[in-house]
Structure 1
Amino acid sequence: MTHHQLTDEAKPPHAPTRQLTLRFSGTRRGARLARRLAVQQLTEWTGLSYDSDPARAVALVTAELASNAVRHGSLPGRDFRLTLLLLPHGFRIEVTDTRPERLPPPVPSQPADGTSGRGLLLVQAYADRWGYMVRDTYTKMVWVEVQLRTTAS
């Protein structure tokens, strides 16, 4: 679970075998639909079950990235983009929003007091790699890679 911010590090290490990109409204409903779609595509592309460890990790990190895009990265009337990539050994989630000046904060070593501020700690715990990059003056993309290994029951 490493965090990378450099452009070269933000690129998937291998070409994706499958890819899907969709836009969602910058609303709570849009974030919820993005999470559901990510898990649906993971299970469809890989044959993993909805209750597998990778599916749970994908649901959690997609929910956090989409929620952050809506809450912190959205301008009125602007959508966010979700890109899903099936890699040879993992699943990559990319969320692009319209606030490149609002970069993810450094991840604290422990959660802050209160009801917020724990999301990136969860992303760091469930992701094998994650980071962000500002592509242009209008957008930033936060990405997460989840390995497709499952733990034996």
Structure 2
Amino acid sequence: MNVEITLVGAEFVQRFSATRRGARLARRLAVYQLDEWGVPYGSELSDNAAVVVAELAANAVLHGNVKGRDFELRLLGLADTIRIEVSDARGERGPEPQPPRPDAESGFGLHLVGVVATSWGVKDRLVGKTVWAELATTP
């Protein structure tokens, strides 16, 4: 599906409480913002973005939480790419993701991000870290 982002260079930044509710709100607002940018709600790109935001926000809440600190969601409309960044206050990084066991009930999040994103990674910040992923807007 070929989707043209109408606001290339546009940016959306919002902080959320580092709670399950905050993670859920981040996903909902991301999909809303993408729809405003011309990525239709329910499209494959919108659904993939929702998955990425949900996984990165959940990880920020579960593994990057520092008491009293929020996490931040940033969306960037770039040429042929949507960049999703989720930043948390914990600078430590966990071990490199390993393939989850077939009988595991968790541990699939970053593997799922790797499947739908064209690229993803982690970068340090002055306080904490940012996990980012990019989604192609053209096939």
Q: TM-score, normalized by length of structure 2? A: 0.88
Equivalent positions of 1:4-153 (< 5 A) are: 17-45=9-37, 47-101=38-92, 103-108=93-98, 110-112=99-101, 113-136=103-126, 138-149=127-138
Deviation at 1:33, TM superposition (A): 0.5
- Unaligned runs of 5+ residues in structure 2 are 1-7
Q: Distance in 2 between matches of 1:66 and 1:31?
A: 5
Say which SS state the counterpart of residue 120 (structure 2) adopts. Answer: strand
Q: Report how far residue 66 of structure 1 moved.
A: 0.2
Q: Structure 1 stretches (4+) deviating beyond 3 angstroms? A: none
Q: CA deviation at 1:104?
A: 4.5
Give percent identity, aligned residues only. Answer: 50
Aligned length: 131
- What amino acid maps onto 2:110 in structure 1? L
RMSD: 1.4
Contact 1:73 1:98 in 2 (8 A): yes
What are the ranges of 5 or more consecutive residues in structure 1 without an aligned counterpart?
Answer: 1-15
Aligned residue number for residue 3 of structure 1? none
SS at match of 1:30: helix
**What is the CA distance between 1:107 and its match in structure 2?**
2.8
Q: Deviations over 1:9-47 (max 9, x none)?
A: xxxxxxx610111110000010001001111111111x2
Q: Provide closer, same or farther for how the CA distance between residues 87 and 24 of structure 1 changes in structure 2, counting only shifts above 3 A.
A: same
